[in-house]
């Protein structure tokens, strides 16, 4: 499925994203996270919600994971009717291989409950599971029976229509081009922040400036 950048970005999509941008504030919405700084801020008490992929949960403190829950966030108007987007990693078989039977057998082993399930589970009691979303029902059921958050994830997945589709390599160029356009439009329509917030004589990081607790501290 080739992607061609449209001449303009959908106005409804921009309006919806702009609400998130204004809620976060210009500095936080435009903050370029060098690694997992947002996760660290959130798990140490900054912010009331975190948008991200489910596997981010694997990095949460094990003794705190029971304090969190997850829900799907819509990416398009159709999502409000129960359709959510999920990434799908597949195991491919080269049709030109001389031994397709062995290749198929290997694919079955790789995606089996024993192999895929073991790969997703926590290795020790001091770790979280991977919180990847397996497409194989038996693996997802096994994880949901062991981990409460996986049970919530299963409810979300099973309550959504599931239609896999592929895109070609042009999607990378499309994402690069459109990502810049969308980001510029969002930040251009957000009021710049020039105020400084100081707590105990130390300036607050700009990306945290719009947290409710910090808004009251503006000078």
Q: Where do the domains of the chain lie?
A: 9-83+163-219, 87-159
User: Which of the listed ranges 9-13, 96-100, 193-197 does the model predict with the highest average pLDDT?
Assistant: 96-100
Point out the least confidently predicted range of 5-14, 68-77, 195-204: 195-204
- What are the angstrom distances between the C-alpha of 47 and each of 29, 35, 61, 89, 91? 13, 18, 16, 31, 38
pLDDT of residue 168: 77
How far apart are alpha carbons 47 and 38 in whole angstroms? 9
As beta bridge partners, residue 190 has none
Average pLDDT of the chain, as a whole number: 78
Sorted by sequence, the CB contacts under 8 Å of residue 172 that are 6+ apart come out as none
Mean pLDDT of 23-27: 73
Contacts of 1 (CB under 8 A, 6+ apart): 165, 166, 167, 168
pLDDT at 122: 95
Among the ranges given (36-40, 63-67, 76-80, 178-182), the one the predictor scored with the smallest mean pLDDT:
76-80
| pLDDT recorded at residue 167 | 75
For residue range 126-183, list pLDDT tens digits in order: 999 999 999 889 999 999 999 999 999 999 888 877 777 777 778 778 777 777 777 7
* pLDDT at residue 62 is higher than 90: yes
**Domain 87-159, CATH among 1.10.3860.10, 3.40.1160.10, 3.40.190.10, 3.50.50.60:** 3.40.190.10
Asked whether residue 12 carries a pLDDT value surpassing 60, the answer given is yes
Q: 44: pLDDT confidence band, cut at 50, 70 and 90? A: confident
Burial class (CB in 10 A: 0-12, 13-18, 19+), 164: exposed
pLDDT bracket for residue 121 (50, 70, 90):
very high
145 token code pair = 């029976």
Helix (H) or strand (E) holding 183: helix 170-188
pLDDT of the residue at 63: 92
First to last CA, the chain: 52
pLDDT band at 51 (very low <50, low <70, confident <90, very high): confident
Q: How many CB atoms lie within 10 A of CB 16?
A: 14
Question: Cα(179)–Cα(167) distance, rounded to whole angstroms?
Answer: 17
């Amino acid at each position: 499925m080739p992607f061609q950048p449209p001449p303009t970005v959908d106005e409804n999509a921009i309006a919806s994203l702009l609400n998130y941008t204004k809620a976060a504030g210009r500095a936080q919405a435009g903050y370029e996270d060098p690694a997992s700084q947002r996760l660290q801020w959130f798990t140490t008490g900054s912010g009331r919600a975190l948008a991200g992929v489910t596997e981010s949960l694997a990095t949460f403190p094990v003794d705190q994971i029971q304090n969190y829950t997850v829900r799907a966030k819509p990416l398009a108007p159709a999502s409000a009717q129960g359709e959510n987007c999920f990434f799908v990693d597949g195991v491919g078989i080269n049709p030109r291989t001389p031994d397709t039977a062995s290749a198929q057998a290997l694919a079955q082993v790789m995606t089996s409950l024993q192999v895929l399930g073991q790969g997703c589970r926590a290795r020790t009691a001091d770790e979280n599971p991977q919180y990847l979303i397996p497409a194989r029902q038996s693996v997802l059921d096994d994880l949901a029976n062991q981990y409460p958050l996986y049970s919530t994830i299963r409810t979300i997945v099973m309550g959504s229509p599931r239609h896999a589709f592929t895109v070609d390599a042009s999607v990378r160029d499309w994402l690069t081009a459109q990502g810049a356009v969308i980001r510029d439009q969002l930040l251009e329509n957000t009021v710049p922040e020039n105020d400084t917030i100081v707590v105990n004589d130390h300036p607050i990081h700009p990306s945290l400036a719009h947290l409710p607790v910090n808004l009251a501290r503006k000078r």
